[in-house]
Structure 1
Amino acid sequence: MEFEGVDWTELSIYFEVVEQDYDGGQDEKVLLLTKEFLQSVLMSDRETEVAYGIRQFLTKLYNNSIEYKHNAPIWKGLLEVNDDFTLIKYTILLLEHMWY
């Protein structure tokens, strides 16, 4: 899958939390399911694979947001997190923030 880098639910599709033809409805529920998925992979043998997918998405998101000076540093900072566990934890926190 090639990320567009415009919607966090792209990760939900990538990790098969929802179907490929997901129409964008019930975003809050989907983000919660994605958060639960990410929590389930922490300390598992999939941690590196999942962190790689997150980095792919963040790279595209960063490239799309360079013109928006207030967002770009956040995505760039996350891309600089080398530890897979930490990156996944920060992603979980971001997903939680999106529905509050």
Structure 2
Amino acid sequence: MRAGTIRTPACGADMRHRNDEDFVRVNNLSGDTREPDLLELLCPFVNVSRVYVAIDQKTGMSRGFGFVNFMRREDGERVIAKLNGYGYDNLILSVEWAAPMLSQ
């Protein structure tokens, strides 16, 4: 697991049954967005397994995107439908399925 990734028992995290293909990418996050902020935005809609916001190591600011993993694919579809184009922290979010990771 990446450093800084939050597991969220309060929102229904049972990591034994996660599906690594059910990741949603959230783009256009502000520089001060952190994992708890993204989690707070998502929890009213769905149960989240894992949240990760990319942070620039030099500046400590968000790099403008993050990833969210869900217990069920339907939860990801619901988040995409509700939050794609949603105004958050004075920016318009772009929410889509993350490209699958290529094994090396």
Q: Same fold (TM over 0.5)?
A: no
Q: Which has the larger share of strand?
A: 2
Name the TM-score, length of structure 1 as normaliser: 0.29
> Higher helix fraction: Structure 1 or Structure 2?
1
